[in-house]
Amino acid sequence: MTEQTTTFRDLGLSEKLLEAIEKKGYIHPSPIQACVIRLLLKWERNILGQAQTGTGKTASFGLPLLDRLDMSKIGIQALILAPTRELAIQVATEIQSFAEKGVKITLIYGGQNIRDEVMALKKWPHIVVGTPGRVIDHLTVKKTLKVADLDYFILDEADEMLNIGFKEEVEKILEYTPENKKTLLFSATMPREILSIAKKYMGDYETVKIESKTTISDRITQMYYEVSPRNKFEALSRVIDMTDDFYGIVFCKTKMDTDEVAAGLIARGLKAEGIHGDIEQKHREKILGRFKAGKSKILVATDVAARGIDVDNLSHVVNYSLPDNAEIYTHRIGRTARAWKTGTAISFVSKMDTRKLFAIERLLKQKIKKEQVPDVKDVVTIQKKRLAERITENITVWGLEKFIELASELTQEQDITQVLAAVLKDAYEKRFDESSYSSIQERGPSISPTGEQRLFIAKGKIDGMTPWTLIQFIESEVGTRLWDVWKIDIFEKFSYMNVQAEVAAAVLDFYKAQNSRRPLVVEAKGRDGGGSGFSGGGRWGYSWGGRGFSSGWRGGSSGGSGKFSYKSWDSRGGRWGFWGNRGQGYSGGR
């Protein structure tokens, strides 16, 4: 029986549950639903399930769970753990939507009144859905959660649970549960830590793996723009302004990025809001409620905060920062093109992200198309055209009466074209002003033809800096590899180095965010990025690459510049070396 012809009636579910399923318009189960429901109903196996986000995992365990409930039994029969409050709420809501009258589901998570949870637990719910931290509180502190007679333990989004750091809590909760329970563990990815938990706590289990299908790309148009980190926001603004009825999620890597991007979009007059783990729970729920209702059109979020967001009609997903894990990319973009609709996935990629992009393309087994950032003139033109269409549309609908009298008064004494132009100027002057957009440079400032940029660092020999310690210092501060570094010059109180342009942009942005008035690292001011010669002396130059460096004396003479040739680590061939000096000088390496 094929995936297309299998129906929920073929899986062995009860008639009451089938009626609830069909009432919601569902006929054919997804692959994960078909496999898990059969296994749990017919063979009652422990299950380790792997499937992508948006494939129906909740219904796959929720439906057979409801069918297996013993309504005459007193006590909690199933405990479901979710990594975030939003996902816990979503899981509980979806299971309740299928449940018959009398099935009691209690939701427990941090941020809501624990006294209300205690009262609900005293009424012996059939199913408890919660986050690890709050479940631990009820088990060990309040002692209001009794799971000694538990029939089912379900761990949802296990990979995200470990990413957040809940491994110890999960293992502690498992120790309170009986050995003869049925355990179901679901995850989008299957890292080694999850497999170790399965081996330690699940005994014999059945593995259900639903391969990620590239058919998702048939409904999702994927593209990327190559921009430096400092130009991402400008590129995002242009993309949104070019798009009619943009409704989507913008994924950021950090909470700080989330706040900055959301604030910037709001300042541009867009209906945007940001969400991350530091925002108070009640406020987060309101933000999500407004976004799901369409009252806000852009949600800027971190991956963790976006868990549990289930909106069928999102037009766009934007990777403001590419994720470190290629599979997370598929989870993100899978939030658009839901319910067999189409969607667009956009990624902003710097040269530092090249390896991540290749990993994503390998996973998808396809190339993602590179596009050019929209030109400002095109953005303004399309917005003017869109405004003209809206005005034409408004003329044909009701509701203009309260503006007719004012319009008549204005046009009696003034030319109608002048009046309309003044109204447009008042409402759209900044929006249609090309200068309100920032320029996007293909390369950063002061970049040599070879793609290098010279940096000035306010640390030198007095701070114990050598070429090696200087590189280590910046890498540990910024949290990124510098890879290829050229022409390191160490002076008493400051230093210089040349790095790749895209790496330089990230370093400069980091230190500017740390101290905007006096950053520790700034762009070096020089004629050729390599420093000029000086009278009566010289200086040592270093070219660092991988595990070796070349060094040489930069000779000096009055009014001139000594020449020195460098060669750095060749990461492709695993070699390093150096070129000799020309004229005066010394070259050495090891």
Classify domain 8-209 at the CATH topology level: Rossmann fold (3.40.50)
Predicted model pTM: 0.49
pLDDT at 13: 95
Q: Which two tokens stand for residue 311?
A: 């909106």
pLDDT of residue 439: 77
The two three-digit tokens of residue 533, written as one number? 């010669």
Q: Report whether 224 contacts 354 (CB < 8 A).
A: no
Q: For residue 278, what pLDDT is reported? A: 81
Residue-level pLDDT at 586: 29
Q: Angle at CA 516, nearest 5°, toward 466 and 273?
A: 125
Ranges of CATH 3.40.50.300 domains, the chain: 8-209, 216-374
Contact 53, 188 (CB under 8 A): yes
Q: Which tens digits make up the pLDDT trace of 260-283? A: 899 989 988 899 999 987 888 788
CB 346 within 8 A of CB 239: yes
Which tokens hold the place of 225? Answer: 């723009």
pLDDT at 574: 34
Q: Are 533 and 554 in contact (CB under 8 A)?
A: yes
For 438-468, letters b (16+ CB in 10 Å) and e give eebeeebebbeeebbbbbbbebbeebebebe
The rounded mean pLDDT for the chain is 81
CA gyration radius, the chain: 30
Single-letter amino acid, residue 176: Y
* Statement: 216-374 belongs to CATH 3.40.190.10: no
Per the CB < 8 A criterion, the answer to whether 153 and 177 are in contact is: yes
DSSP string, 205-264: EEEEE-PPPTTHHHHEEEEEEE--GGGHHHHHHHHHHHSTT--EEEE-SSHHHHHHHHHH
pLDDT at 95: 95
Distinct helix (H) and strand (E) counts, the chain: 21, 21
Return the closest-CA partner of residue 485 out of 217, 355, 494, 474. Answer: 474
Question: Which of 63, 4, 76 lies closest to 37, judged by CA?
Answer: 63
How far apart (Å, rounded) are the C-alpha atoms in residues 393 and 262? 31
* b (16+ CB within 10 A) / e for 509-536: bbbeeeeeeebbbebbeeeebbbebbee
Give the chain's residues under pLDDT 50: 1-2, 214-215, 442-450, 527-590
Counting every residue written for the chain, the total comes to: 590
